[in-house]
């Protein structure tokens, strides 16, 4: 797993958990699996900016890489406490605007992800204080 540590150099791991990431496809109006693996929230100690990175577990390809901005709103899927979705500009593929859904194994991990994500957005230098 040495190859995966390259993205983490200079960053502090704030959160890490196994998750599945889905992307909404407008044309077919369905969620397609983008990848499964360790979803990480990373903090740059120099700028206090955070990002989410997810590498697919067997091929180690980055399938999510985006900055956590105050404008990103997390939404819990109704009656599914293990699922969160949001819209962001993802840099892992052509800097495209994406509608992501992530699913965790248990509600406690999903809640921890939510709390860390919200704290990261609030601590962003551009967040209104």
For residue range 56-82, what is the model confidence (pLDDT) as tens digits?
A: 988 888 988 999 999 999 998 888 899
Within a domain: 107: yes
Within a domain: 128: no
Which residue range(s) make up the domain with 80? Answer: 2-122
Rounded to whole angstroms, the Cα distance separating 82 from 72 reads 19
Structurally, the chain folds into a number of domains equal to 1
The residue that leads in pLDDT, 91 or 14, is: 14
DSSP tag of 73: -
The residue that leads in pLDDT, 72 or 94, is: 72
Residues 95-104: tens digit of each pLDDT: 778 899 999 9
Within a domain: 16: yes
Contact yes or no for 52/41 (Cβ under 8 A): yes
For residue 98, the model assigns a pLDDT of: 86
Name the pTM for this structure: 0.84
For residue 5, the model assigns a pLDDT of: 39
Query: What's the Cα-to-Cα distance from 93 to each of 43, 47, 64, 107, 125, rounded to whole Å?
Result: 21, 24, 8, 29, 25
Q: Is the pLDDT of residue 121 over 60?
A: yes
Rounded to whole angstroms, the Cα distance separating 27 from 4 reads 33
Rounded to whole angstroms, the Cα distance separating 127 from 4 reads 30
Residues 40-58: tens digit of each pLDDT: 999 999 999 999 999 998 8
Within a domain: 104: yes
Within a domain: 127: no
Q: Is the pLDDT of residue 22 over 50?
A: yes
Query: What's the Cα-to-Cα distance from 100 to each of 36, 64, 105, 113, rounded to whole Å?
Result: 13, 9, 17, 14
The residue that leads in pLDDT, 14 or 79, is: 14
Report the CATH number at residue 96. 2.30.29.30
Within a domain: 75: yes
């Amino acid at each position: 797993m040495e190859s995966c540590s390259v993205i983490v150099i200079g960053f502090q791991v704030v959160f890490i958990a196994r998750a599945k990431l889905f992307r909404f496809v407008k044309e077919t109006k369905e969620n397609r699996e983008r990848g499964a693996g360790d979803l990480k929230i990373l903090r740059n100690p120099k700028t206090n900016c955070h990002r989410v990175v997810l590498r697919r577990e067997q091929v180690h390809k980055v399938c999510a890489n985006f900055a956590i901005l105050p404008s990103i709103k997390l939404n819990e899927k109704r009656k599914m406490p293990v699922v969160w979705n949001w819209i962001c500009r993802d840099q892992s593929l052509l800097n495209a605007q994406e509608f992501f859904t992530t699913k965790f194994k248990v509600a406690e991990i999903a809640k921890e992800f939510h709390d860390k994500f919200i704290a990261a957005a609030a601590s962003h230098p551009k967040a209104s204080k």
